[in-house]
Structure formats: structure tokens, C-alpha cells
Amino acid sequence: MFENLQVFENRLEELNLKLYDPQSAADQALYSALMKEHKELSPIVESYRQYRDWERRLREAKELLEESSDREMRELVQEEIKEASAHLSALEEQIKLLLLPHDPNDEKNVIVEIRGGAGGEEAALFAGVLYRMYSMYAQHRGWKTEVVSLNETELGGFKEVSFLIDGEGAYSRLKFESGVHRVQRVPETEAQGRIHTSTATVAVLPEAEEVELEIDPKDLQIDTFRSSGAGGQHINKTSSAIRITHLPTGMVVECQDERSQLKNKDKAMKVLRARLLDKERAKAEAQVAEERKSQVGTGDRSERIRTYNYPQTRVTDHRIGLSLYHLEEILGGELDQVIDPLIAADRAARLEAEN
């Protein structure tokens, strides 16, 4: 493995030359592709260079140990051998992780869809809590959010809400959030103070580029209607809301967040494109069942992935057996304490599958 890393170093040096070439800078698409490859290769090459340096230090220390007869000197050299060996072991694991197959969607923006599940009005209220959690997480990371569509209830919950998150690496951080989220708490609608269990489903879709999926305009039925809020009140008096039906699949997407019909259509097409690409990807993954064994979760929306227990202030992720008693922090958008262990578990599973 380590002999082959020289190829990456040679390629990085080649990329450095190309990036300084005025012809590359003049071609925006080419320059962007070169920068992307440079960003992917840099950590691998940097780790490889550190590995070679510690390998050299270990070799020199072993040579010095053979030559030296002084007891104190030998003790110092043995400490250096121990340190170099530890660094080499850590770097070897780091390089193995960096060489794992890269998910091409990791750097993409995402479309998040949250729907109230079992539990009626309480499920809709919980869907609103999850929407706030992801919105605040995006804010913490400096990402932008845009609502595509929402269907509110009288008490301020959401039967469903779709929104875009625009930020570097958004999919890499949020891709394990798809599934059933369960809440255990005393609902606002419960007069007796009994704890209820409700659910909401979350779908996280990587935003699809137009070039990735060609949609025939003949396959689309586009309708306009008036935007409305909870209880049926009209937000405006013009037919700016858009409903797009993909005739071959029967898939329907609505967008009514913008007052501009064109902006609503653009957002609705982004969601449709992402859903269609996600459907194709799910079909391909189903055909390669072995791949799923090395993932933290299948992304199946029927899979219960997490429980939010209010009485115990506990959040439990069932896929990795993680329980944290920081419910308020997590619902306030501090999701990294859940996401980081999920990413680590996924990497560990994939490393094991590679060995």
C-alpha cells in the first residue's frame, strides 16, 4: 500500500504545476476540478510524508542502538524507537482511513424532508422540533437554509417540511440522519401528564446536479396554486405556488415558500431531481446488499435510528448504542456529539470490511 502512495505524491506535484498554469486558471471548470482533486490528495500525501519521516527516524535510531554501548544513550534511543513506532502505527491507520473509497456526494448540499409520523398532533410538533434542531445545527456550522415547502398544523407543528441546506460537506455530516426519530415526552396536548411516544421521519438527500439526471420536460405536469398557511389562510392572492408531478413515477413536489413562481419552480425541480436520484441510488444499493453491511445505517426511512427521551434528558442512537444525557444541547443544534461517533463507527466498519 505504502509503495503505491508515491503515485499520489507525484500527482499532487503535477497538480501544483497545473494550478499555476494561466491556461488552467482561464478555464473555470478545469480549475475547479483540479482544486477538488488537490484537496482530496493533500491530506493523503501529507500523512505519507510524515510516515516516511518517522520511518527514517526509526531506521536511524535502530542503527544508533546497534552501534552504541553506552547504557544511558541506549535508553534514550530506545525511547525514540518507541515514539517513532507509535507515530508510524497511528499514521498507518490514518492513511488507511484516507484511502477508503470516497462518497462522491459528501461535499454536496442537501435537501432535508421531515414528516410527522405516528402520534398525530404530537408527531407534528416533534417534526417542528427536529426542523429547529437541524436549522440551528446549520447555523452553528455557517450553512444557509431555505424552506422549500411546509405544511403547518393549528398548534404550530409540521405535518411535513422540506428545506435546503447549502454548505460545504453538508451531506457528509448529515447523511446518517435519514430514518425514524422517536420522541418520548409528555405532550402539550396531554392533560393527564402521561408520557407518549411519537415519531417523525427524516430523509436527507444530496442535491443533484442537472448533469447527473436528465428529466424530459414531457414527463412533467406543472400546476400553479395559491400559497396557504395553517388553517387554510392564504399567504398571498396570486398563484405563485408550484406543484410538479413526475408522470412516469407519480412523484409530486410542491413549493410555496417564495412569492415568485419562477423561484418556487426552481426549488421544486431541485427537490424532484434529488428524490429521483435518491430512488436510483437506493435501487442500486439494494442490488449490492453486501455494501450495506459496512454502513452505520441503510438509510431506510422505516429504520428507527434515534430516541429523544425528555424525562431522562437522554438521546440514544440505536445503531451504535450511543446514549447521551444532553437532550437540550442536542435539540439546540449541538449535533456533532452524535454525528462524530456515527462517522467514526462507519469508518471503522468500512476499514474492517476492507481487511
* pLDDT at residue 303, as a whole number: 72
Cell matching residue 106: 459528501
pLDDT digits over 143-187, tens only? 999 988 888 888 888 999 999 999 988 999 999 999 999 999 987
Contact 274, 165 (CB under 8 A): no
* pLDDT at residue 232, as a whole number: 42
* pLDDT at residue 210, as a whole number: 58
Block residue for cell numbers 499555476: 20
pLDDT digits over 225-236, tens only? 776 654 444 444
Please give the torsion angle defined by the CA atoms of residues 197, 201, 204 and 210, in that order, rounded to the nearest 10 degrees: -170
pLDDT digits over 12-32, tens only? 999 999 999 888 888 888 888
Report pTM.
0.69
DSSP 228: B
* pLDDT at residue 295, as a whole number: 46
Buried b (16+ CB within 10 A) or exposed e, 291-326: eeebbbbbbebeeebbbbbeeeebbbbbbbeeeeee
Q: Which H or E run includes 227? A: none
Q: How confident is the model at residue 40 (pLDDT cuts 50, 70, 90)?
A: confident
Q: How confident is the model at residue 33 (pLDDT cuts 50, 70, 90)?
A: confident
- Please state whether 256 falls in left (phi above 0), alpha (psi between -120 and 50) or beta: alpha
Range with the lowest mean pLDDT among 43-57, 99-113, 149-163, 273-287? 273-287
Contact 175, 105 (CB under 8 A): yes
Q: How confident is the model at residue 240 (pLDDT cuts 50, 70, 90)?
A: confident
DSSP 320: T
Give mean pLDDT, residues 73-98: 90
pLDDT digits over 293-337, tens only? 444 554 445 678 999 999 999 999 999 999 999 999 999 999 999
Contact 264, 280 (CB under 8 A): no
* pLDDT at residue 165, as a whole number: 95
Q: Which H or E run includes 323? A: strand 322-324
Give the number of other CB atoms < 10 A from CB of residue 205.
28
Contact 259, 242 (CB under 8 A): no
* pLDDT at residue 286, as a whole number: 62
Block residue for cell numbers 398563484: 239
Q: Find, among 311, 308, 299, the residue nearest to 331 by Cα.
A: 308
Average pLDDT, the chain: 84
* pLDDT at residue 191, as a whole number: 62
- Residue 85 one-letter amino acid: S
Residues 161 and 127: their CA atoms lie apart, in Å, by 8
Cell matching residue 284: 442500486
* pLDDT at residue 227, as a whole number: 64
Residues 222 and 200: their CA atoms lie apart, in Å, by 29
What is the separation of C-alpha 339 from the centre of its chain, rounded to a whole number of angstroms? 9
* pLDDT at residue 291, as a whole number: 42
Q: How confident is the model at residue 1 (pLDDT cuts 50, 70, 90)?
A: low
Quickly count helices (H) and strands (E) in the chain.
10, 11
